[in-house]
Structure 1
Amino acid sequence: MKTRFASLRVLAILGAGATLAPAAAMAQDQTDNDLIENADVVDRNIIIVTAQGRSQVLADVPVAVSAVSAETLSNSGTTDIRELTQLAPSLLVSSTGNEANGSARIRGIGTVGDNPGLESSVAVFVDGVYRSRSGNALSELGPLDRVEILRGPQGTLGGRNASAGVISIYTAPPTFGFEAYGAFTYGNYDAIRVEAGLNAPLSDTIAARVDGVYFKRDGFYNDVVNDTDINNRDRYLVRAQVLFEPTEDISFRLIGDYSKKDEACCAATFVQPDFAPLARVSPGLDPFARPVGNAPALTSRANPIIPVLIGLGQNPASLNQSTFNRNIYVTPGRSFEGETEDYGVSGELSWDFGDMSLTSITGYREYDNFQGSDTDYTQVDILYREAGPSAAARNFKTFTQELRLAGTAFNDKLDWLVGGYYANEKLQTRDNLRFGTQYGQFVACRLAIALQPTLGASLGRRVADPSQANCFDPVAFGAIQSGAVFGAATARVVPALNNLASISDVGGTGDVYNQTSENFAVFTHNIVHLTDTLDLTLGLRYTNETKDFDATFGNDNTVCPTNRALIGPIAGASAFFAGLLSLSCQGNSTAELNGVSISDTRDEDEFTGTAILSWKPTPDLLTYASYSRGYKAGGFNLDRSALGNPVTFSVAAIDPSSLQFAEETVTAYEIGAKYATREFGISLAGFRQEFTNFQLNTFNGSVFLVQNVNACSASLGGADMDASAATGACAVDNVVPGVVSQGVEMEAYLQPIQDLNFSLGLTYTDSSYENELIGNDTGTPLDPALRLLPGDNLSNAPELVATSSVTWTPPIGNSGMEGLFFLNARMTGDYNTGSDLLYGKEQDGYVIVNGRIGLTNIANRFAIEGWVSNLFDKDYTQVAFNTPFVAPQQTYSAFLAEPRTYGVTVRGKF
Structure 2
Amino acid sequence: MLKNTTYLFKQTFIASAIAASLSAPSVYAQGETFVMEEVLVTASKREKTLQETPIAVFVTSAETIERANILDTADLTSVVPTLRITPAGTRSASVRYSIRGLGNGGSNGTEPSVGVFIDGVYRARSGSIIGDLPRLQRIEVLSGPQSTLFGKNASAGAISIITMPPSQEFEAKVEAGIGNYNQQILKGYVTGGITDDIAMSFSAGTNQRDGYSEGRYGFSDLNDRDRWNVRSQLLYTPTEDFSLRIIADYSEIDEVCCTVANVINGAGVTAVINGLAGEQAVLDAGGSFDYKSLLDFDPTNAIEDGGISFHADIDFEDFTLSSITAYRFNEITTTGDIDFTALDIASSFSTPDVKTFSQEIRLTSTSDGPVSWILGGSLSKEEISTYGYTLYGDDLRPFVNSLIGGLLPTLELITGTPSGAFYAAGTKTIAEAGLDTDSYSIFGTMDYSINDKLTATLGLNYTKDDRESSAEQIDNPDLFGQVDWRTLNPFGAGATLAGLAFRPQALSYPNEVEDGKSSDDDVTWLARLNYELNDNVNVYVSAATGFKSSAWEGGKPNVEDQAAIEAAGIDVVNQTYGSRKSDPEYSTVYEIGIKSSFNNGSVNIAIFDQSIEDFQTRGFDGVNFINLNAGEISVQGVEFDILYAPSANWLFTMAGTYLDPEYVDYKEGVRTTDDFGTEPYDRSGTRPGGIHSLALSTAITYSFMLDNGANGYVRGDYLHESDTEISDSFPGLSREVGTFNASAGLLFDNGVGVKIWGRNLNNDEYLQGGFSGVAQRGTVNSWPNQPRTYGATVSYEF
Q: Are the equivalent residues in 2 in contact too, given 1:225–1:330 (CA < 8 A)?
A: no
Give the drift of 1:784. Answer: 6.2
Instruction: Tell me which of 486, 492, 495 is aligned to 1:568.
Output: 486
Instruction: Tell me which of 785, 803, 821 is aligned to 2:714.
Output: 821
Instruction: Tell me which of 566, 584, 588 is aligned to 2:504.
Output: 588
Gaps of 5+ in 1: 1-14, 26-40, 272-278, 280-297, 386-390, 449-469, 482-489, 711-737, 777-782
Gaps of 5+ in 2: 1-22, 671-676
Instruction: Give a deviation string over 1:292-342, Cα, whole Å, max 9, x none.
Output: xxxxxx47xxx32222111111733754462211221112xx331120001
Q: Are the equivalent residues in 2 in contact too, given 1:785–1:836 (CA < 8 A)?
A: no
Give the drift of 1:604. Answer: 1.0
Match of residue 863 from structure 1: 753
Q: Residues 522 and 310 of structure 1: is their aligned pair in 2 closer, same or farther, counting only changes over 3 Å?
A: same
Q: Residues 164 and 355 of structure 1: is their aligned pair in 2 closer, same or farther, counting only changes over 3 Å?
A: same
| TM-score, normalised relative to structure 1 | 0.78
2:472 is aligned with 1:578: no
2:303 is aligned with 1:413: no
Distance 1:47 1:90 in 2: 19
Distance 2:340 2:609 in 1: 39
Instruction: Tell me which of 430, 435, 445 is aligned to 1:525.
Output: 445
Q: Residues 23 and 67 of structure 1: is their aligned pair in 2 closer, same or farther, counting only changes over 3 Å?
A: farther
Instruction: Give a deviation string over 1:781-824, Cα, whole Å, max 9, x none.
Output: xx9688484433323211111001112221111x4311210111
Q: Residues 323 and 417 of structure 1: is their aligned pair in 2 closer, same or farther, counting only changes over 3 Å?
A: same
Give the drift of 1:766. Answer: 1.8
2:359 is aligned with 1:401: yes
Instruction: Tell me which of 652, 657, 676 is aligned to 2:570.
Output: 652
Q: Residues 878 and 788 of structure 1: is their aligned pair in 2 closer, same or farther, counting only changes over 3 Å?
A: farther
Match of residue 607 from structure 2: 686
Paired residue secondary structure (1:245): strand
Q: Are the equivalent residues in 2 in contact too, given 1:213–1:236 (CA < 8 A)?
A: yes
Distance 2:387 2:769 in 1: 24
Instruction: Give a deviation string over 1:418-453, Cα, whole Å, max 9, x none.
Output: 1100101111122212333322332333333xxxxx
2:101 is aligned with 1:108: yes
Instruction: Give a deviation string over 1:567-606, Cα, whole Å, max 9, x none.
Output: 23155995x321211212x45346x879999852211111
Instruction: Tell me which of 139, 154, 157 is aligned to 2:149.
Output: 157
Distance 1:610 1:63 in 2: 11
Distance 2:306 2:524 in 1: 32
Match of residue 779 from structure 2: 891
Q: Are the equivalent residues in 2 in contact too, given 1:101–1:116 (CA < 8 A)?
A: no
Q: Are the equivalent residues in 1 in contact too, given 2:509–2:515 (CA < 8 A)?
A: no
Q: Are the equivalent residues in 2 in contact too, given 1:666–1:691 (CA < 8 A)?
A: yes
Q: Residues 795 and 635 of structure 1: is their aligned pair in 2 closer, same or farther, counting only changes over 3 Å?
A: same
Give the drift of 1:184. Answer: 0.4
Match of residue 789 from structure 2: 901
Give the drift of 1:115. Answer: 2.8
Q: Residues 202 and 651 of structure 1: is their aligned pair in 2 closer, same or farther, counting only changes over 3 Å?
A: farther
Distance 1:748 1:790 in 2: 36
Q: Are the equivalent residues in 1 in contact too, given 2:381–2:439 (CA < 8 A)?
A: yes
Distance 2:29 2:711 in 1: 15
Match of residue 538 from structure 2: 622
Give the drift of 1:213. Answer: 0.9
Q: Residues 124 and 666 of structure 1: is their aligned pair in 2 closer, same or farther, counting only changes over 3 Å?
A: same
Give the drift of 1:199. Answer: 0.9
Q: Tell me the percent identity.
A: 28
* 1:844-855 equivalence runs, <5 A: 845-855=736-746
RMSD over aligned CA atoms reads: 3.0
* 1:284-299 equivalence runs, <5 A: 298=265
Paired residue secondary structure (1:797): coil
Paired residue secondary structure (2:497): helix
Q: Which amino acid aligns with 1:166?
A: A
Paired residue secondary structure (1:156): helix
* 1:591-670 equivalence runs, <5 A: 600-639=516-555, 652-653=570-571, 659-670=580-591
Give the drift of 1:502. Answer: 4.0
Instruction: Give a deviation string over 1:858-885, Cα, whole Å, max 9, x none.
Output: 1330111111011111122222322211
Q: Are the equivalent residues in 1 in contact too, given 2:558–2:578 (CA < 8 A)?
A: no
Q: Are the equivalent residues in 1 in contact too, given 2:335–2:350 (CA < 8 A)?
A: yes
2:104 is aligned with 1:98: no
Q: Residues 188 and 612 of structure 1: is their aligned pair in 2 closer, same or farther, counting only changes over 3 Å?
A: same
Paired residue secondary structure (1:445): helix
Q: Residues 686 and 785 of structure 1: is their aligned pair in 2 closer, same or farther, counting only changes over 3 Å?
A: farther
2:118 is aligned with 1:118: no
Match of residue 838 from structure 1: 731
Q: Are the equivalent residues in 1 in contact too, given 2:612–2:634 (CA < 8 A)?
A: yes
* 1:40-189 equivalence runs, <5 A: 43-44=36-37, 46-95=38-87, 96-111=89-104, 114-133=106-125, 135-137=127-129, 140-189=132-181
Give the drift of 1:491. Answer: 10
Distance 2:153 2:766 in 1: 33
Distance 2:527 2:766 in 1: 41
Give the drift of 1:382. Answer: 2.1
Give the drift of 1:559. Answer: 1.1
Instruction: Tell me which of 267, 273, 276 is aligned to 1:312.
Output: 276
2:388 is aligned with 1:431: yes
Q: Which amino acid aligns with 2:388?
A: D
Distance 1:788 1:309 in 2: 34
Q: Which amino acid aligns with 2:252?
A: K
Paired residue secondary structure (2:149): coil
Q: Residues 552 and 787 of structure 1: is their aligned pair in 2 closer, same or farther, counting only changes over 3 Å?
A: closer
Q: Residues 430 and 143 of structure 1: is their aligned pair in 2 closer, same or farther, counting only changes over 3 Å?
A: farther
Instruction: Tell me which of 798, 803, 806 is aligned to 2:692.
Output: 798
Q: Which amino acid aligns with 1:653?
A: D
Give the drift of 1:253. Answer: 0.9
Match of residue 327 from structure 1: 292
2:652 is aligned with 1:758: yes
Match of residue 741 from structure 1: 635
Q: Are the equivalent residues in 2 in contact too, given 1:680–1:751 (CA < 8 A)?
A: yes
Q: Are the equivalent residues in 1 in contact too, given 2:201–2:233 (CA < 8 A)?
A: yes
Distance 1:338 1:437 in 2: 23
Distance 2:509 2:393 in 1: 19
Paired residue secondary structure (2:730): coil
Give the drift of 1:106. Answer: 0.4
Give the drift of 1:653. Answer: 3.3
Q: Residues 572 and 132 of structure 1: is their aligned pair in 2 closer, same or farther, counting only changes over 3 Å?
A: farther
Distance 2:624 2:180 in 1: 41
| TM-score, normalised relative to structure 2 | 0.89
How many residue pairs get matched?
760
Instruction: Give a deviation string over 1:484-542, Cα, whole Å, max 9, x none.
Output: xxxxxx99868789778544332423x11121111110011111111111111100000
Match of residue 768 from structure 2: 878
2:231 is aligned with 1:337: no
Q: Are the equivalent residues in 2 in contact too, given 1:641–1:702 (CA < 8 A)?
A: no
Distance 1:669 1:594 in 2: 41
Instruction: Give a deviation string over 1:708-744, Cα, whole Å, max 9, x none.
Output: 111xxxxxxxxxxxxxxxxxxxxxxxxxxx2111111
Paired residue secondary structure (1:82): helix
Q: Residues 139 and 145 of structure 1: is their aligned pair in 2 closer, same or farther, counting only changes over 3 Å?
A: closer
Match of residue 333 from structure 2: 370
Paired residue secondary structure (1:180): strand
Q: Residues 169 and 24 of structure 1: is their aligned pair in 2 closer, same or farther, counting only changes over 3 Å?
A: farther
Distance 1:527 1:741 in 2: 28
Q: Residues 595 and 431 of structure 1: is their aligned pair in 2 closer, same or farther, counting only changes over 3 Å?
A: farther
